[in-house]
Amino acid sequence: MTKPVIGFIGLGLMGGNMVECLQKNGFEPIVMDLNKEAVATVVARGATEAKSAKELAAASDIIMLCLTTSAVVEQLVYGKDGILDGIKEGSVLIDFGTSIPASTRRIGADLAEKGAGMVDAPLGRTPAHAKDGLLNIMAAGEKATFDKVKPVLDVLGENVFYLGALGAGHTTKLINNFMGMTTVCAMSQAFAVADRAGVDRQQLYDIMSTGPSNSPFMQFCKNYAVDGVSDLGFSIANANKDLGYFLKMVEDLGTRAEIAEGTSSNLQAAFDEGMGNGNVPEIFDYFLKLER
């Protein structure tokens, strides 16, 4: 069966490795990115560069986005020479980023008016998993649209979950990141408080890790707070953005999430201190120097 033509926008660490995975599996994607070095790398392996999102969409059966924010996604969809201007009837847009669900649903409705579909499919795991096609993919959208693109999602993901109506993927990812980043903030602060109280951080870890609080996130926090190794691979800036999106989603649902408000406040404060590029467990340093 003929492989669908894939257009891919966003060749960062995750997106670039996803494109490499697609190329290893026989796809010849059309790509776009502001980083021309990243573009040159995938073009050297057989990809083609598009001059605009409109051009890319017009030539693609499946358009994949791996971008940083909902604002960037909306700019590429609705902007001059954007995806909405070029997308073909029957094509599918897949947003692999972490976006605001209300924005996702609005884009999906506008694409539907052009006879195109949308799947929101945020990702779990790391860029290394992306290169090997081992991502966790949380996909949502009309079932027929999901079924159409699932063979390609199976190339990129080891675990592909179908979650229902459009927006459910981004909703699930934001809940997941709220839980994960709140856990990291709480554990990092626990190590900082222990240090101030004169409790050895290694001993605290030895005790806590034998109980139900033990988790991979605790290990990441221990690696930084005790061993000085920062290896989670998710920045304070990204976590801060995701918690902001989570709070916006909660507001749209007509409720509050006070625990998330606390996590967001801590991440924003660390970001304001110039720590945005550090991995999330490095918020330990912010807590360690925090004064009343």
- Tokens 């991979």 belong to residue: 216
φ, ψ of residue 129 to 5 degrees: the values are -65, -35
Under a CB-based contact definition with an 8 Å cutoff, are residues 239 and 205 in contact? no
How far is residue 277 CA from its own chain's centroid? 16
User: Which H/E stretch holds residue 8?
Assistant: strand 6-9
Question: Catalytic site residue 173?
Answer: yes
Residue 123: its H or E element? strand 123-124
Q: Residue 36: how many CB atoms within 10 A of its CB?
A: 11
Q: Are the C-beta atoms of residues 262 and 252 closer than 8 Å to each other?
A: no
Tell me 279's DSSP state. Answer: B
Question: Which helix (H) or strand (E) is 154 found in, with range?
Answer: helix 143-156
Which amino acid type is present at position 208? M
Other Cβ atoms less than 10 A from the Cβ of 221: the count is 28
Q: Which of 80, 142, 60 is nearest to 108 (CA)?
A: 142
Q: Which of 54, 131, 173, 222 is catalytic?
A: 173
Residue entry with tokens 């951080």: 201
Catalytic residues: 173
